[in-house]
Amino acid sequence: MIQVINRALDILEYVSNETQKPKLMGHIARDLQINPATCANIIKTLVIRGYLEKSDIQKGYILGRNSQQLLGNNQTFASLISAAEPEMESITTLINEKCLIAILKADKRVVIYKNNCAQMVQANTPDEKKAYDSSTGRLLVAMLSEESLAKYVEQYGLPSKAIWQEANTHEKFMEQIKLIRKNKYALIEDSVQVIGIAAPIYEKGIPTASLSIYLPAFRFSNTTRKKMIQLCVSAAKKISGKLDQ
C-alpha cells in the first residue's frame, strides 16, 4: 500500500462526509491522525488538482470540481435526494407543479435535483442562477450565519435594483434577510414569468439546501400562494427530519 495515496483518499472520504460542511485542515489532520505538515501538503496538492477547494462562505475545505465530476451531483447528495424525492413527488401529486432542491455555491444557487409535473405549460429555471435572482438563492443567503453573510456581501456585493428592488441598499437588504429568517421561507411573487417559494433544509441543525416549488405566473393566485407556502415549509421540515435520523 502506498501510504501517501492512502492518506489522500482518506482525506477525500473525510471531506465528502456532510458535503456542505467545510472541514478545517486541523480537524482533518487530527481525526485522521496525519502529521499536520503532511496533511497540509496533501491538501495543497488536492486543491491544485481540483479535487478539493476552499469554501467561499465558511472556513475549511469542500469537494472540488473534479471530485464532483467523478461522483456526479446525484451521488454527492445521495442522502439528501433520497430524503427529498418522496416529499417532492407528494407535492407534485397534490398541486401538479414542479419542485427542485438547490444549494448555494459562490454567488449562485445550483440545482442538484428537480422533478416535472403533468401541466401542459410548465415553468422552467436554469440549473445555475444568480442567488439574489431566485427564491432558493435568497433563502440560502438569508440562512447564512451573521459572519458568513457579512463575508458574502463583502465578496459579491448587494443585489442590483433590477434583480431585487426591495434589497438594493444595505438597510433594505438586512430588512429582507430578517423577514426571510422570520418567515422561514422566501417567496418571489412579483415576476411576470415564474413564481417561486423556497424553504430551508437542515442537516444536524445546519441549513444545507433549499426546497422550492415553482410555477408559471399566470397560474399563481392567493389560494395557490397559501397552499404553496404550507406544502413547501412542511415538506422541508420532513426532509430535515429524515436527514437527522
pLDDT of residue 17: 73
Assigned C-alpha cell, 48: 491544485
pLDDT of residue 156: 94
- Provide the b/e sequence for 138-163 (b: ≥16 CB within 10 Å): bbbbbbbeeebbebbbeebeebeeee
- What predicted TM-score, i.e. pTM, was given to this entire model? 0.72
Give the side-chain half-sphere CA count within 13 A for 201.
Answer: 31
Q: How would CATH label the architecture of 77-243?
A: 2-Layer Sandwich (3.30)
pLDDT of residue 56: 63
- Topology annotation, domain 3-72: Arc Repressor Mutant, subunit A (1.10.10)
pLDDT of residue 57: 59
Using CA atoms, how far apart are residues 33 and 120, in angstroms rounded to an integer? 57
Give the side-chain half-sphere CA count within 13 A for 32.
Answer: 27
Using CA atoms, how far apart are residues 89 and 171, in angstroms rounded to an integer? 39
Using CA atoms, how far apart are residues 225 and 19, in angstroms rounded to an integer? 33
Assigned C-alpha cell, 59: 472556513
pLDDT of residue 20: 61
Which whole-number Å values give the CA distances from 222 to 117, 171, 243, in the listed order? 21, 29, 32
All CATH 1.10.10.10 domain ranges in the chain, comma separated:
3-72
pLDDT of residue 19: 61
pLDDT of residue 16: 79
Residues 63, 16: contact at Cβ < 8 Å? yes
pLDDT lower than 50: segments of the chain: none
All CATH 3.30.450.40 domain ranges in the chain, comma separated:
77-243
